[in-house]
Amino acid sequence: MLRWLKTNHQALTAIGAMVVGLAALFIAWDQARVMRAQQHGAVYPILQIDGYYSNDGDTTRLGAGVRNAGVGPATIESVEILRHGEVVEDFGPLLSVLPESANISWSSMNGRVLAAGDDVRPVDFQWPTADMGQGFEERLLEEWATWGLRACYCSVFDRCFVVDTNDRAGRPEQVRRCERPDTEAFEQLGGAVPGAPPPEEDTP
């Protein structure tokens, strides 16, 4: 073995060059991986969704807020309405509990870009506190506790995440992509009338 080593200098040089090349390749790959992680971390959006209820004496408000607590912009692709953790199409049961004097406002969310530190209220209900009868607040809060929102959003590097009001302790869950629906989840609020029964379907 020692004799072979003494007489095969070129082979040893080639093996050494290959080892050095492999080491350099690994270092370059590792540095690129670290740089990618740093780039994504520098623009990592974190959406937080919270419901709110306030009573300042004259006006009572109920709704939900979405805030970007991360360090990069978030493109919100879709927002779904949840009741008991299941996706529903509208706020029907909640609207039936609200006073008829309730004022309803909503914001379009599909495709909205939320910068770091910005927030938006996708849905907000407010009404005169004097219109709340006995036992109304208890019934309202009991119903409101069953509702929530789920949002799917992406970073500038097209890394996508899902977050909802039922996951307050954990981080947003990463998903492969977000599907943007054709309709806005809150559009039906534009013509909604609190306390009114749903419209009857036409019979053929």
Beta bridge partners of 151: 79, 163
**197 part of a folded domain:** no
Task: Identify the domain containing residue 90 by its residue range.
Answer: 47-191
Contact 33, 25 (CB under 8 A): no
Check pLDDT > 60 for residue 194: no
**35 and 51 together in one domain:** no
Question: What does the mean pLDDT of the chain come to?
Answer: 79
Residue type, 32: A
Residues 132-162: pLDDT tens digits?
A: 888 888 999 999 999 999 999 999 999 999 9
> Is the domain of 117 the same as that of 142?
yes
The tens digit of pLDDT for each residue in 64-117 reads 999 999 889 999 999 999 999 899 988 889 988 999 899 999 988 999 999 999
Structural domain contains residue 204: no
Answer whether residue 201 is part of any domain. Answer: no
d(CA 87, CA 142): 19
Is 200 inside any structural domain?
A: no
Q: How many structural domains does the chain have?
A: 2
| 41-75 CB burial, b ≥16 within 10 A, e <16 | eebbbbbbbeeeeeeeeeebbbbbbbbbebebbbb
Q: Render pLDDT for 22-72 as a digit per residue (tens, 0 to 9).
A: 666 555 544 545 455 444 445 689 999 999 999 888 999 999 999 999 889
Considering the domain architecture, whether residues 13 and 77 belong to the same structural domain is answered as no
Kindly tell me the burial class for residue 143, based on how many C-beta atoms sit within 10 Å of its own C-beta (0-12, 13-18, 19 or more).
Answer: middle
Q: How far apart are CA 178 and CA 120, in angstroms?
A: 20
Are 84 and 182 in contact by the 8 Å Cβ rule? The answer is no
| Cα–Cα distance, 185 to 68 (Å, whole number) | 20
Domain membership of residue 62 (yes or no) is yes
